[in-house]
Amino acid sequence: MSRIVTPQKQKPFLKSRAFRISLATALAVVLLGGVLEFTGVTHLFHKKYAATHTVTAGQATKGEPAGGAITSGSTSSGTTPGSSGDTNSTEPGDNKGSVSSGSPGAAPETPSGNFVSNHHPNLSGSPAPSLEQSVCSTTTGATCQITFTKDGVTKSLDSTSTDRGGAAYWTWDVKSLGLAAGSWKVTAIATLNGQTATASDTQTLDVQP
């Protein structure tokens, strides 16, 4: 008497042993990768974040002393609240400046920034105010000074060290600085390691009576 063999039903793949093994292996790999990344053994994500997370000059670093956390190098200047008159967007200075040779060490970057917030102030305070705000951006750890020259007379803001974002800030008054009516040439001077870099503003400071 012949024996009838009934075909055996095949288990669905999702319930098969091969699927369970593959799923367990994948979970183990993900878990292991997460542990290695969290403990600092690998830096697949940390490196990408560090490359994009840079600190630049602006309100976030305003006034913070320069420190080792920021490597001296290129910085972008942030804006500061300005007075009425010119717009207060950051405009780089005229890079016709020069870098002078000095003692060994890196020279500062050519200054840039909003050297004066209003190029048409009034000594009388009307219609434009005489109050000014200035920003000089250069290498972190350098010192900045802004000078005003007219007819052989030079006036200057106090030399100020840049903050950790590479910027120096001033709030000052045209009358208090002793600027007479007329057109003044504006120049920013950065000093570091005995070397200087200068840049002139593309506009003159036209002081009105």
* 162 or 97, greater pLDDT: 162
Average pLDDT over residues 69-90: 35
pLDDT at 90 over 80: no
pLDDT tens-digit map of 122-164: 999 888 899 999 999 999 999 999 999 999 999 999 999 999 9
pLDDT tens digits for 113-132? 999 999 999 999 888 899 99
pTM for the model stands at 0.55
Mean pLDDT, range 68-79, rounded to an integer: 35
The per-residue pLDDT for 17 is 74
Pull the structure tokens for residue 34. Answer: 């997460």
- The span from the CA of 42 to the CA of 63, in Å, is 35
**Selection from 76, 55, 74, 54 nearest residue 64 by Cα:** 55
Amino acid 116: pLDDT: 96
Contacts for 152-161: CB closer than 8 Å, 24+ residues apart: 155/179, 155/184, 159/191, 160/136, 161/65, 161/66
Work out the pLDDT band at 111, boundaries 50, 70, 90. very high
